[in-house]
């Protein structure tokens, strides 16, 4: 009963804590409750303990086996679906669209802070739920998919803009170390994700060929490319290293260990004041590379491969075609 108590307790904390924080809390509770017998208070009301359906475990196993989910995505799927299933407390075959709407309404506002859930987070939850019920229907576990009528929310946020050439120069000028400059040049020229950047080893990069072997999202390998400036910066940085760590980017202080994604974000955020460029985040370099490539005439399919996207629709959200290119293309292809 202790394990069930801990699991239920953690699920109630899901909207308020990160996956890492929840793991720490769960581990602490599991240790503290060892040797204790926890059981519900008996009243005249008959209590029953909800068990997650077997189909849920089969679904999660199938997602893990297809090799397309990162550990972070698995945690997001697990937390979202378990939270929904415990909330609804209803057999899968009897869940209707109104049940799902009721659950989404319950999470739309953070009970602790009173703040509304962001459109992006709500859409992410909807996507996970729709994926689950679509799979249940296709595998014939349920007769009807109740999530078909669940629609995505329209985002009112402004589209993320790319860096101008002058922005990149100002960011580079604000770098106080060879390492930070190499990170900026690598992200700006290759368009790889920050997680892919920190995951690189020295052996993954061929400076003569200007190529990177990247282990990307969903456990897929691909080749990315860098420009001459990034080659110069990386050569300079690698030559300055005296440690034996295999990671391409390491901490500045000994013992030198692989740098984390949070450390890169913190580093770039710190460059905002010195550079005068607001909102310096790793992902914006990715938008910049995609937009620059498209506006210089690179086919969208090639940009898709460079970014490591499974769907070309995702690539289209990254690349912002300039009005000048649209004008020139119109002249080129019109009669």
Long-range contacts of 94-100 (CB under 8 A, 24+ apart): 95/133, 95/142, 95/146, 96/146, 97/146, 97/147, 97/148, 97/149, 97/150, 99/146, 100/129, 100/146, 100/147, 100/150
- CA separation for the pair 14, 76 (Å, rounded): 10
Is 309 annotated as catalytic?
yes
Output b/e per residue, 158-185; b: 16+ Cβ within 10 A.
eeeebbeeebbebbbebbeebbbbbbbb
Helix or strand holding residue 222 (H, E): strand 221-225
Is 156 annotated as catalytic?
no
Is 89 annotated as catalytic?
no
Is 283 annotated as catalytic?
yes
Is 256 annotated as catalytic?
no
Q: Among residues 179, 217, 284, 287, which one is catalytic?
A: 217
Is 320 annotated as catalytic?
no
Q: Among residues 193, 237, 284, 287, which one is catalytic?
A: 193
- CA separation for the pair 85, 91 (Å, rounded): 9
> CB–CB of 192/214 below 8 Å?
yes
User: Which pair of tokens denotes residue 60?
Assistant: 């999660």
Which residue, chain included where needed, has tokens 């799902």? 100
Mind telling me the catalytic residues?
Answer: 193, 217, 283, 286, 309, 318
């Amino acid at each position: 009963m202790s394990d069930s108590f801990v699991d239920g307790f953690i699920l109630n904390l899901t909207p308020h804590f990160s996956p890492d924080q929840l793991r720490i809390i769960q581990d602490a509770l599991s240790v503290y409750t060892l040797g204790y017998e926890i059981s519900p208070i008996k009243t005249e009301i008959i209590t029953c303990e909800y068990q997650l359906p077997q189909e849920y475990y089969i679904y999660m196993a199938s997602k893990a086996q297809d090799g397309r989910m990162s550990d972070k995505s698995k945690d997001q799927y697990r937390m979202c679906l378990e939270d929904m299933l415990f909330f609804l407390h209803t057999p899968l075959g009897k869940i209707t669209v109104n049940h799902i709407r009721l659950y989404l309404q319950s999470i739309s506002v953070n009970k602790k802070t009173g703040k509304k859930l962001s459109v992006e987070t709500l859409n992410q939850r909807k996507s996970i739920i729709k994926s689950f019920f679509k799979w249940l229907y296709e595998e014939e576990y349920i007769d009807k998919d109740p999530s078909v009528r669940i629609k995505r929310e329209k985002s009112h946020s402004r589209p993320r803009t790319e860096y101008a050439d002058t922005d990149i120069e100002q960011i580079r000028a604000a770098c106080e170390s060879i390492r930070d400059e190499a990170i900026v040049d690598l992200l700006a020229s290759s368009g790889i994700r920050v997680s892919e950047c920190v995951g690189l080893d020295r052996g993954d990069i061929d400076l003569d060929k200007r190529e990177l072997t990247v282990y990307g999202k969903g456990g897929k390998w691909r080749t990315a490319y860098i420009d001459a400036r990034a080659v110069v910066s990386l050569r300079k940085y690698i030559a300055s290293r005296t440690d034996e760590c295999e990671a391409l980017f390491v901490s500045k202080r000994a013992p030198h260990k692989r740098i984390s994604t949070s450390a890169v974000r913190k580093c770039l955020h710190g460059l905002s004041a010195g550079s005068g460029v607001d909102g310096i985040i790793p992902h914006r370099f990715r938008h910049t590379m995609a937009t620059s490539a498209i506006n210089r005439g690179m086919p969208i399919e090639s940009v898709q491969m460079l970014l490591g996207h499974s769907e070309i629709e995702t690539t289209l959200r990254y690349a912002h075609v300039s009005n000048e290119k649209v004008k020139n293309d119109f002249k080129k292809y019109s009669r």
